[in-house]
Amino acid sequence: MKQDYPSWPQRLLLACAAGLLAAPAWAAEALPYQRLQRCPFTPAELSAATGLKVELVPLMEFAGAPKPMTAPEQGRLFLSCNATDGAAPATLLVTQQWFDPKTAAARIQALKARDLKDAQPVPGDPDGALWLTERDGAKQTLYYVRGGNVLVSVGVHGVPPPLQASLRAGLLKLKRVPS
C-alpha cells in the first residue's frame, strides 16, 4: 500500500502554520521580570487617578512575615503595593503577576476563567482590559495584560459613593505598566 506524504513545500507550510498556532507572533513581546517594580505608580499619580489622597503603605515587616519576591519561583513572580487614604476608608492595591512566557497564556486564561468571569471588557482597550465592579461599586478593579505574560490589576476597595462613578475613567487614564 502506497502512502502519500506531503511534498516539502506542503510540509514547510504545515510547520509554519503549527508554529503560528503554538506561539502567536502577533502577540506582544514577552516582558522580562526585571522590568517590574513593586509599586510602579507614585502617590501623586494614584491620587490624580482616584480622587483620593493616596499614601503608600510600607511593606509589613515582622518575625515570620513572608519575604517579598525578588525573582520568579515556579515560573511566577508576584509584586504588589498598597496605598490608603487616611481620610477615607479606601485601600488601593496594585498587583503585577509575571509568568514564564512558555506558560503565561494558559496560566492567565485559567486565572481569568476562575477569578474574572464577571468582569466586563473595556471596549477598544489596547491591552484588552477588563473592569470588575463588586459590592455595589465599593470595590472596583481594572485588569489588563502587558507583553502577553504580565497580568496587572489596579483596584480600590472601600470606594466612597461620590467617587464610584468617576473611578473607572480615572484608572483607565493611568499609564500602563510595565512599559
The answer as to whether 8 is a domain residue is: no
CA–CA dist 179, 76 (Å, integer): 19
The secondary structure element, H or E, covering residue 151 is strand 150-157
Q: Is residue 58 part of a domain?
A: yes
- The values of phi and psi at residue 78, to 5°, are -120, 120
Please compute the mean of the pLDDT values over residues 107-122 and round it to a whole number.
96
* Structural domain includes residue 179: no
H/E element holding 106? helix 104-115
- Our count of domains for the chain comes to 1
Give domain status of residue 3, yes or no: no
- Is the distance from CB of 93 to CB of 140 less than 8 angstroms? no
Asked if 92 and 50 count as a contact pair (C-beta separation under 8 A), the reply is yes
Tell me the torsion sign for CA atoms 57, 63, 66, 70.
positive
- Within a domain: residue 87? yes
**Structural domain span for residue 60:** 27-173
Residue pLDDT, tens place only, 118-175: 999 999 999 999 999 998 889 999 999 999 999 999 999 998 888 888 999 999 999 9
Q: Is 12 part of a structural domain of the chain?
A: no
Residue 93 sits in a domain of what CATH number? 3.40.1000.70
For residue 47, the model assigns a pLDDT of 93
Q: Does the structure show a pLDDT above 90 at 100? A: yes
pLDDT of the residue at 44: 95
**Mind listing the pLDDT tens digit for each residue in 2-56?**
545 444 444 433 343 333 333 333 347 999 999 999 999 999 999 999 989 999 9
pTM across the whole model: 0.80
Does a structural domain hold residue 7?
no
Question: Does residue 148 form part of some domain?
Answer: yes
